Amino acid sequence: MELGTIVFYRKYEDFQDILKHMNGAKEQSLGLDDATFKDHYGYDRQALFHVLYQSNDMWGFVCHKINKKDGSIGYKVLNPNNKVNVINDSDVYFALAMNDFTYTHWAEMESSKKIKTSSQGTAIMKKPSDSSIKKAKVVKRVFGMGHKMLYQIVSLTDGKPKYAYSNPFNDQWKDYDAYRPTKNPYDYMMKSNWTPNNPYPPQRQSGRSPSTYNPMGWRNGVTTFHAVPYLRDNIKPASFSVVRKMESEYSDLRMFVNFPTGIPLSFA
């Protein structure tokens, strides 16, 4: 699974309780298209996904895939406490991808591989203006950056991020400038067969059409790069898609669609 995938691996009983309280939604129905789901339950499937996302003690963001010696697969995930732990692929009972999201804060970068920090080792976090967020283009996802955190790297070709210094973060870190490399750190992205995290769908931010990084638009010493942390109170998803269905769905989905109230019985 790709970096940033939301994997549900804990508190399966709580997951079931949420489905029960959402008009008795069934596991088998989670893989339905939005229109069919709404026709059956009377509400938007995305609303259910948002409730699951907000119940963040059940899931984590995928940070790294692990190929184990025994042939099995594991993942490093960013857990509900924003700490990294390792889980087995077999622990994952459901998974969602964010098709769209926006955010409120980003971290300034020291280099393409490291977050800028203060003398106390604190990450330099700032709250960019809405206009800067709208202009920011997706570059790639990356895990680590010196802080064991998952980040979405974004760029501003015009190199003019705007910050309101009425915000305490922006005022505190106003002397820390954005990363403006004199050599393109992502020149490998110019290869025609390269896509971020391959495959990695472009994110759509603030309701815009997808906007991805164009290395040909990079300007020496002008383009700025920033790292958006995958903190739960920072990332604001707009919509989701299912990337791993519930096990029951594989065998029961057709029966659920054809007989949503149960299999009719008749006796001779």
Sign of the CA dihedral with 80 first, then 235, 122, and 167 last:
negative
Question: What is the full per-residue pLDDT of the chain (268 aa) written as tens digits?
Answer: 899 999 999 999 999 999 999 988 888 889 888 999 999 899 999 999 999 999 989 999 999 999 988 889 999 999 999 999 999 999 999 999 998 899 999 999 999 999 999 989 999 999 999 999 999 999 999 999 998 999 999 999 988 999 999 999 999 999 999 999 998 888 766 443 444 443 334 444 433 334 566 665 778 889 999 999 999 999 999 999 999 887 765 555 554 555 555 434 333 3
Do 147 and 57 lie in one domain? The reply is: no
**CA atoms within 13 A of residue 101's CA, in its CB half-sphere:** 26
CA 209 to chain centre: 17
Do 142 and 95 lie in one domain? The reply is: no
> Does residue 1 form part of some domain?
no
> Does residue 223 form part of some domain?
yes
The whole-number pLDDT of residue 151 equals 96
Residue with tokens 């949503």: 260
Residue 172 belongs to domain spanning:
105-233
170 DSSP assignment: H
Do 118 and 61 lie in one domain? The reply is: no
Do 68 and 22 lie in one domain? The reply is: yes
For the chain, the domain total comes to: 2
Do 141 and 251 lie in one domain? The reply is: no
The whole-number pLDDT of residue 187 equals 76
Do 79 and 171 lie in one domain? The reply is: no
Do 110 and 219 lie in one domain? The reply is: yes
Do 216 and 127 lie in one domain? The reply is: yes
- Which amino acid belongs to residue 5? T
| Residues near 173 by beta carbon (within 8 Å), at least 6 away in sequence | 108, 118, 124, 125, 126
> Does residue 265 form part of some domain?
no
- Which amino acid belongs to residue 207? G
Do 215 and 116 lie in one domain? The reply is: yes
Do 174 and 247 lie in one domain? The reply is: no
What count of other Cβ atoms lies within 10 Å of the Cβ of residue 29?
Answer: 22
The whole-number pLDDT of residue 246 equals 77
Could you give the CA distance from residue 184 to residue 213 in angstroms, rounded to a whole number? 12
User: Do residues 224 and 156 lie in contact, with contact meaning Cβ atoms separated by under 8 Å?
Assistant: yes
The whole-number pLDDT of residue 207 equals 37
Could you give the CA distance from residue 90 to residue 52 in angstroms, rounded to a whole number? 20
The whole-number pLDDT of residue 217 equals 72
**Where would I find the beta strands (DSSP E) of the chain?**
6-8, 59-67, 73-78, 84-88, 94-103, 106-111, 114-115, 125-126, 137-144, 149-156, 224-229, 235-244
Do 111 and 200 lie in one domain? The reply is: yes
Ramachandran assignment for 149, one of left (phi > 0), alpha (psi -120 to 50 degrees), beta (any other): beta
Do 87 and 134 lie in one domain? The reply is: no
> Does residue 268 form part of some domain?
no
153 DSSP assignment: E
Could you give the CA distance from residue 234 to residue 227 in angstroms, rounded to a whole number? 12
> Does residue 267 form part of some domain?
no
Could you give the CA distance from residue 56 to residue 60 in angstroms, rounded to a whole number? 8
